[in-house]
């Protein structure tokens, strides 16, 4: 009898645990303070030998907009808004790689071709100018040594030869410089240079960059297919207003097509979130639309730019994925990187 009671008691406890795991959780009430808006101002850098250049790049138009050896001379750095969420009491936040470290190997081929064309054009242009200077030196030299010319003409010719020789040397030097860059382009290394990276809490006001709390990158996925990154508050502390960081150790690993899911994020960044009472994060519901491939999962939740890095929850409040991409033709379907990959990244030193 005692044994029977023990078995029934264990079954009763398991039933309670199962019910607790399946109990719907109001993820907005529990986690909206844990979900933040991220602002990132940055440049790209390309290093070729001992030379480093900074530039901005329009991925849609495939154009380099500004280009300079001095980062402070770039007038309009790139800027991105995204979403992030606190994952522990040490002030770490999860978000997408493309929000805080937006350089992928898929960009390199196009950018290298743009740089190659630009360098080749400079080599050709300075070569033509050097040849033109050489021609002018010949013309003025002929006048200089023409004894039938007046002395003042010959004196002027001396000055002109010196001036054109200086230009010839400058053009040749510039041609050699870009020729050297061209030869080292194959070894070029690209990276993101952060000017400012910060976050703003739900309910706070953001009128300029100073309203964001500065943070730093700590871990970025080395796999471009795993669009995830972890950043951290500078003081390595969870803000006092955040009571419930979103655990990566309690991820949902049994999602099925048709399961209910919710997303909390900042669609269109401050454009929608800003109100008279400060930022307000949005919660949107949908369903899992397709079986996961082990890396990502598709769900029928409409999102807009700015929601990158948003947490996706199941109905029991477990983390399912981190939102990262959608289709340009519709806002009805979006993808998230499965939470297990965030757990793996968070565990790395």
pLDDT one-digit tens code per residue, 100-143: 999 999 999 999 999 999 999 999 999 999 999 999 999 999 99
- The total domain count for the chain is 1
- In terms of Cβ atoms closer than 10 Å to its own Cβ (0-12, 13-18, 19+), residue 50 is exposed
Question: CA nearest 315: which of 282, 281, 285?
Answer: 285
Tens digit of each residue's pLDDT (9 = 90 or more) over 253-291: 788 999 999 999 999 999 999 999 899 999 999 999 999
Residue 284 lies in a domain: yes
pLDDT value at residue 325: 86
pLDDT value at residue 108: 92
Residue 193 lies in a domain: no
Q: What percent of the chain has pLDDT over 70?
A: 92
Residue 146 lies in a domain: no
Tens digit of each residue's pLDDT (9 = 90 or more) over 300-328: 999 998 999 999 999 999 999 999 987 66
Least-confidence region, from 62-66, 148-152, 164-168, 252-256? 252-256
Q: Are 35 and 281 in contact (CB under 8 A)?
A: yes
Write out the E strands in the chain: 35-48, 51-58, 63-68, 78-86, 92-95, 189-200, 213-220, 229-233, 260-265, 282-290, 296-299, 311-314, 319-327, 330-338
Tens digit of each residue's pLDDT (9 = 90 or more) over 10-39: 443 344 344 444 567 899 999 999 999 999
pLDDT value at residue 338: 96
Which whole number is the average pLDDT over 336-348? 96
Residue 194 lies in a domain: no
pLDDT value at residue 252: 75
- Residue 43 has, within 13 A of its CA and on its CB side, a CA count of 20
Give the domain range for residue 301: 26-32+248-347
CA distance 198 to 189: 26
Question: CA nearest 285: which of 304, 309, 308, 259?
Answer: 259
**What ranges in 50-206 are assigned the alpha helix state H?**
97-100, 105-144, 151-184
Residue 242 lies in a domain: no
pLDDT value at residue 49: 82
- SS3 at position 65: strand
Look at the block and give the residue holding tokens 């510039």. 174
CATH at residue 343 = 2.40.10.10
Average pLDDT, the chain: 90
Residue 333 lies in a domain: yes
Which whole number is the average pLDDT over 76-90? 97
Distances (CA, A) of 3 to 7, 13, 49: 6, 15, 76
Residue 264 lies in a domain: yes
Q: Are 197 and 231 in contact (CB under 8 A)?
A: yes
Residue 256 lies in a domain: yes
CA distance 341 to 226: 7
Tens digit of each residue's pLDDT (9 = 90 or more) over 182-210: 999 989 999 999 999 999 999 999 988 89
CA distance 313 to 262: 5
Distances (CA, A) of 99 to 4, 19, 114, 222, 262: 57, 37, 24, 15, 21
DSSP letter, residue 71: G
């Amino acid at each position: 009898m005692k044994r029977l009671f023990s078995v029934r008691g264990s079954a009763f406890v398991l039933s309670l645990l199962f019910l607790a795991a399946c109990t719907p959780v109001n993820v907005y009430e529990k986690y909206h303070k844990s979900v933040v808006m991220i602002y990132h101002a940055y440049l790209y850098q390309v290093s070729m030998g001992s030379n480093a250049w900074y530039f901005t790049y329009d991925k849609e138009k495939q154009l380099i907009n500004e280009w300079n050896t001095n980062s402070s001379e770039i007038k309009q750095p790139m800027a991105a808004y995204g979403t992030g969420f606190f994952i522990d009491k040490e002030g770490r936040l999860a978000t997408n790689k493309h929000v805080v470290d937006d350089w992928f190997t898929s960009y390199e081929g196009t950018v290298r071709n743009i740089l190659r064309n630009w360098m080749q054009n400079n080599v050709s242009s300075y070569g033509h100018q050097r040849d033109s200077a050489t021609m002018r030196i010949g013309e003025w030299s002929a006048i200089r040594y023409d004894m039938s010319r007046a002395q003042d003409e010959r004196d002027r010719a001396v000055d002109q030869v010196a001036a054109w020789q200086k230009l010839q040397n400058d053009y040749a030097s510039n041609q050699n410089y870009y020729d050297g860059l061209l030869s080292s382009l194959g070894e070029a290394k690209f990276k993101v240079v952060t000017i400012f990276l910060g976050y703003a809490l739900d309910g706070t006001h953001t009128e300029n960059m100073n309203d964001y709390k500065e943070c730093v990158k700590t871990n970025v996925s080395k796999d471009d297919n795993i669009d995830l990154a972890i950043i951290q508050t500078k003081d390595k502390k969870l803000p006092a207003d955040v009571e419930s960081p979103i655990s990566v150790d309690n991820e949902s690993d049994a999602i099925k097509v048709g399961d209910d899911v919710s997303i909390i994020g900042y669609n269109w960044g401050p454009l929608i979130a800003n109100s008279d009472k400060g930022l307000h994060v949005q919660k949107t519901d949908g369903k899992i639309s397709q079986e996961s491939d082990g890396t990502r999962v598709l769900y029928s939740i409409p999102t807009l730019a700015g929601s990158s890095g948003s947490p996706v929850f199941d109905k029991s409040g477990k983390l399912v994925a981190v939102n990262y991409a959608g289709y340009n033709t519709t806002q009805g379907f979006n993808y998230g990187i499965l939470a297990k990959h965030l757990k793996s990244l968070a565990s790395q030193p």
